[in-house]
Amino acid sequence: GQQLNQSPQSMFIQEGEDVSMNCTSSSIFNTWLWYKQDPGEGPVLLIALYKAGELTSNGRLTAQFGITRKDSFLNISASIPSDVGIYFCAGQLGSYNNNDMRFGAGTRLTVKP
């Protein structure tokens, strides 16, 4: 099946710094998504991208759908302590009989006050 490579695996940053993480795939996806998981909770959708080249923002978060449809990045500006968590990229083919969502391995973010 499709494999997503997410990097970095973990990041330790100071409050106020900007963060960047990315995801690449050997296969094309029609939808890219970014999720955040807090401890003891399920993943929560942050941003969904539906078109190659699309750049979308959600507050301090910005994500882009790569032109090749094989990659995406997520940026977080001016990080704050509550940004701590695991961030997952996910890709979907979007076809009728294969619309399951595949996840990257996650980026564990630690923000030091």
Nearer to another protein, 84 or 105 (CB): 105
Q: Judge whether 34 and 46 are in contact, CB under 8 Å.
A: yes
88 binds another protein (CB under 8 A): yes
For another protein, the binding residues in 93-112 under the rule CB under 8 A are: 94, 97-103, 105-106, 108
To the nearest 5 percent, what fractions of the chain are helix, strand and coil? 5, 55, 40
Determine which residue in the list 37, 62, 75, 77 makes contact with another protein, applying CB under 8 A: 37
Only one of the segments 13-21, 61-69, 72-80, 84-92 lies at the binding site for another protein (rule: CB under 8 A); that segment is 84-92
> Of 77 and 101, which has the nearer Cβ to another protein?
101
DSSP 82: G
What DSSP designation does 98 have?
B
The footprint of another protein (CB under 8 A) covers 31, 33, 37, 40-45, 48, 86, 88, 92, 94, 97-103, 105-106, 108
